[in-house]
Amino acid sequence: MEEMWSNEFEEKLSQTISHPDCPQLYTRVGNQCLSVFFIGNSDCPEKYRRSVINAFVKRALTHSSTWKSITELRRVSQLLTSNGYPQKDIDDVIRRRMDAFMSENKLKTEEPSITLYYKNTMSTAHKEDEKAIKKIINNNVTPTRANTRLNLVIYYKSHKTANLIMKNSCLPPVSPLQKVNVVYQHKCTVGDCNHLNSRYIGFTTTTQSKRITAHLQDGAIRRHYVSEHFLLVRRQHIEKNTEILEKVNDIKRLKMTEAILIYFEEPTIYIQQQPEVSLPSKQPPPGRKQAVS
């Protein structure tokens, strides 16, 4: 593929893409005409002077995909020297940058690594915590591949402002009858049931008040009072003898909580004493009562 690059556009690029005869592509630093005003005056603080040298050397190493970057380093050295930058500082920066560049490439190519992230809590003893964590990882964690190196990164997340503020709700407490997603228990206190501890355990995803309304119309509680005590139970009686056992917002956990409480508490109102035995598959196991909803 052949591409044409205009001189005006190429001079604005900091990185030039070359197309040799071979199908491979390689990159090199664009050789723009850099003036003294662009580089800056060398008569400046040492920190600024070294930052300029670092920028040019880093650009020469990162923008070139081949070892032709050595030619670019020579050009940068000559350019900076011509503008009054000390040759000693230039050589020192080039040497340090080359060492770091070579060691970084060596680690990437020859030593595969696994990075482990650990979120620690900031405290006055965070340095001791880091030493202990590193010791635990080094003594107990070993990569499956022999040439793999472990990198442990311990980081800290700053607290948000909202986490530092105490939240006090100014709303009045919710009435038990208005709570939702609860597991509740009703105790029958009429006649002998008061001594037998007859109970009903159920759950509701609506308000407790709506669930009591449903029990007044039909259900195990209403049938219990009609069949056992020949009474039509009133709303005030159910509200007085009903209490909330658990509140779980997750619907799946709410159902599991109800099942666990029924299994261990064995409420008698929830149990059908005379199960339907017309179908063999509906018959309960010997010695076990059948539960109905």
- Does residue 268 have a pLDDT over 80? yes
Asked if 198 and 263 sit in the same domain, the reply is yes
Asked if 81 and 124 sit in the same domain, the reply is no
Q: State residue 148's pLDDT score.
A: 86
- Mean pLDDT for the chain? 76
Of 57, 64, 14, 5, whose CA–CA distance to 34 is shortest?
A: 14
Residue 35 CA to residue 17 CA, distance in Å, equals 23
Q: Are 177 and 209 in contact (CB under 8 A)?
A: yes
Q: pLDDT band for 284, please (50, 70, 90 cuts).
A: low
150: three-class secondary structure by DSSP:
strand
pTM: 0.39
- Does residue 192 have a pLDDT over 90? no
Q: pLDDT band for 10, please (50, 70, 90 cuts).
A: very low
Q: How far is CA 4 from CA 9, 17, 21, 67, in A?
A: 11, 11, 15, 25
Answer whether residue 67 is part of any domain. Answer: yes
Of 47 and 71, the one with more pLDDT: 71
Q: pLDDT band for 280, please (50, 70, 90 cuts).
A: low
Pairing outcome for strands 26-29 and 113-119? unpaired
Average pLDDT over residues 99-107: 67
The helix (H) or strand (E) run that includes residue 239 is helix 235-240
Of 38, 106, 65, whose CA–CA distance to 56 is shortest?
A: 38
User: At 18, which amino acid appears?
Assistant: S
User: CA gyration radius for the chain?
Assistant: 39
pLDDT (tens digit per residue) in 152-175: 988 887 766 666 666 666 777 888
Range of the domain at 237: 176-272
Average pLDDT over residues 14-24: 48
In this structure, the number of other CB atoms found within 10 A of the CB of residue 169 comes to 6
Answer whether residue 69 is part of any domain. Answer: yes
Q: State residue 104's pLDDT score.
A: 63
- Name the burial class of residue 275, with classes exposed (0-12), middle (13-18) and buried (19+) by CB atoms within 10 angstroms of its CB: middle
Token couple for 13 = 């690029």
Residue 48 CA to residue 50 CA, distance in Å, equals 5
Average pLDDT over residues 34-41: 46
pLDDT (tens digit per residue) in 213-253: 999 998 889 999 999 999 898 999 999 999 999 999 999 99
Number of structural domains the chain divides into? 3
- Does residue 115 have a pLDDT over 70? yes
Asked if 15 and 99 sit in the same domain, the reply is yes
Answer whether residue 33 is part of any domain. Answer: yes
Of 62 and 189, the one with more pLDDT: 189
Of 125, 150, 148, 130, whose CA–CA distance to 140 is shortest?
A: 150
Asked if 89 and 150 sit in the same domain, the reply is no
pLDDT > 70: what percent of the chain? 66
Asked if 128 and 100 sit in the same domain, the reply is no
Asked if 93 and 138 sit in the same domain, the reply is no
Three-state SS annotation for 156-167: CCCCCHHHHCCC
In this structure, the number of other CB atoms found within 10 A of the CB of residue 93 comes to 24
Q: State residue 84's pLDDT score.
A: 82
Of 218 and 60, the one with more pLDDT: 218
Q: Are 283 and 275 in contact (CB under 8 A)?
A: yes
Q: Are 181 and 154 in contact (CB under 8 A)?
A: no
